């Protein structure tokens, strides 16, 4: 990715990583997308409340810096596997929100033509191999994609996003082991939001940090503050470089928090109001990034306002697109079970 020029870079020498690495335009684009994720999920939630979306959904509000930071060094050819809490990953990897809304509305213009919904949102063209309804389900698949990259010498790097809950699944351990044994270009990103549904990591996980698991599989284990975009992006850069150089996988633990409940059924009885309030007020990833951008002179209040307005318009347009799109024909229910052959 084209970064800041030499002169500009010198003037930013003491700033955190991303402010040295990227241009102002690129960083503003990151802020735009963090807002896009936030507003997309708020829009989806509102549409759900109004009965326009059925089923359930798992919102990642509060985790936007993690999705954006990890995807920052990825190219369009690089691939990701995502989770049930995967809307942010999808947008960060380049998806259009209008087609995501269309999917949530069950429409033919959705990314999965209305067959997948929130939990299986994907954008294969942009390298998102799909969210997954099974905790840990995407981790071995990412390793398989990385094996393809190595065998076909495509140079692609694969990122597997998963939550803290997945670190206690067998699939996680089997996948990390194989990736390390075969030195595959894959990055395991654990977005640790503190709770696997209602069960805290303290009650479920024998190690203090999920990154501690990395030593069992002879790979670097990196802990980042998942709510600070620059920290996440810097760790991702290093892991991507290592993967591209053929040095094998990295486990990144991105410590973060979801502002909302696990899903729409959550009564939030396992965490305190004070805890939630603290994360929302003092550690919101968008606010933290905005403050840094302002402090370092990359944007002013007017610039932020115009980003918010543009995002609001894209969200409103996206919802209208979804509403206006056609529903699939019931007679086509059996489509895509198998590949149509001539």
Partner 1 sequence: MDAMVRELSYAQAIQEAMAIAMDMDERVFLMGEDIGVYGGAFQVTGDLVDRYGADRVLDTPISELGGAGVAVGAAVTGMRPIFEFQFSDFATLAMEQIVNQAAKMRFMLGGEVSVPVVMRFPAGSGTGAAAQHSQSLEAWLGHVPGLKVIQPATPYDAKGMLLAAVADPDPVMIFEHKLLYKAKGPVPEGYYTVPIGKADIRREGRDLTIVATSIMVQKALDAAATLEAEGIDVEVVDLRTIRPMDKQTVIDSVKKTSRMMCVYEAVKTLGIGAEVSAMIAESEAFDYLDAPIVRLGGAETPIPYNPELEKATVPQVPDIISAARDLVKGVR
What are the residues binding partner 1 (CB under 8 A)?
79, 81, 110-116, 120, 122, 124-125, 129-130, 132-134, 137, 139-149, 151-152, 170-171, 173-175, 177-178, 181, 335-341
Minimum distance between the CB of residue 340 and partner 1, rounded to whole angstroms? 8
Minimum distance between the CB of residue 198 and partner 1, rounded to whole angstroms? 22
Dihedral of CA 68/69/71/74: which sign?
A: positive
Q: Between 45 and 174, name the residue whose CB sits nearer to partner 1.
A: 174
CB 180, CB 249: distance < 8 Å: yes
Minimum distance between the CB of residue 112 and partner 1, rounded to whole angstroms? 4
Minimum distance between the CB of residue 24 and partner 1, rounded to whole angstroms? 35
Q: Between 115 and 259, name the residue whose CB sits nearer to partner 1.
A: 115
Burial of 209 (0-12, 13-18, 19+ CB in 10 A): middle
Q: Between 103 and 234, name the residue whose CB sits nearer to partner 1.
A: 103
What gap in Å lies between CA 21 and CA 340, rounded to an integer? 46
Q: Which of 80, 79, 93, 72 is nearest to 22 (CA)?
A: 72
The separation between CA 296 and the C-alpha centre of its own chain, rounded to angstroms, equals 26
Q: Between 130 and 196, name the residue whose CB sits nearer to partner 1.
A: 130
Minimum distance between the CB of residue 120 and partner 1, rounded to whole angstroms? 4
Q: Between 124 and 324, name the residue whose CB sits nearer to partner 1.
A: 124
Q: Between 116 and 196, name the residue whose CB sits nearer to partner 1.
A: 116
Residue 93, token pair as written in the block:
């990897």
Residue that is written with structure tokens 């102002």 in the block:
24
What gap in Å lies between CA 70 and CA 82, rounded to an integer? 12
Q: Which of 225, 222, 223 is nearest to 250 (CA)?
A: 222
Residue 72, token pair as written in the block:
């920052």
Minimum distance between the CB of residue 321 and partner 1, rounded to whole angstroms? 17
The separation between CA 320 and the C-alpha centre of its own chain, rounded to angstroms, equals 25
């Amino acid at each position: 990715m084209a970064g800041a020029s030499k002169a500009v870079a010198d003037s930013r020498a003491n700033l955190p990583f991303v402010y040295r690495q990227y241009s102002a335009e690129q960083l503003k684009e990151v802020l735009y997308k963090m807002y896009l994720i936030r507003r997309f999920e708020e829009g989806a939630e509102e549409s759900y409340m109004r009965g326009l979306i059925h089923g359930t959904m798992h919102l990642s509000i509060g985790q936007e810096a993690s999705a954006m930071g990890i995807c920052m060094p990825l190219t369009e050819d690089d691939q990701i596997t995502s989770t049930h809490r995967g809307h942010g990953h999808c947008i960060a990897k380049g998806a259009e929100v209008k087609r995501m809304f269309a999917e949530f509305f069950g429409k033919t213009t959705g990314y999965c033509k209305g067959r997948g919904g929130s939990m299986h949102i994907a954008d294969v063209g942009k390298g998102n191999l799909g969210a997954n309804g099974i905790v840990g389900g995407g981790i071995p698949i990412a390793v398989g994609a990385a094996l393809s990259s190595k065998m076909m010498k495509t140079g692609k790097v694969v990122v597997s996003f998963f939550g803290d809950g997945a670190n206690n699944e067998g699939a996680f351990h089997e996948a990390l082991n194989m990736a390390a044994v075969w030195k595959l270009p894959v990055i395991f990103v654990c977005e640790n939001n503190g709770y696997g549904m209602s069960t805290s990591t303290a009650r479920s996980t024998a190690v203090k940090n999920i990154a501690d698991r990395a030593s069992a599989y002879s790979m670097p284990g990196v802990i980042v503050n998942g709510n600070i975009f620059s920290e996440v992006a810097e760790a991702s850069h290093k892991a991507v470089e290592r993967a591209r150089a053929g040095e094998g996988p990295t486990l990144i633990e991105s410590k973060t928090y979801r502002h909302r409940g696990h899903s729409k059924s959550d009564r939030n009885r396992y965490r305190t109001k004070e805890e939630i309030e603290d994360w929302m007020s003092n550690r919101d990833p968008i606010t933290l990034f905005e403050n840094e951008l302002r402090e370092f002179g990359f944007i002013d209040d007017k610039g932020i306002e115009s980003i918010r307005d543009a995002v609001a318009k894209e969200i409103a347009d996206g919802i209208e697109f979804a509403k206006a799109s056609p529903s699939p024909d019931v007679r086509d229910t059996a489509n895509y079970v198998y590949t149509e052959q001539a």
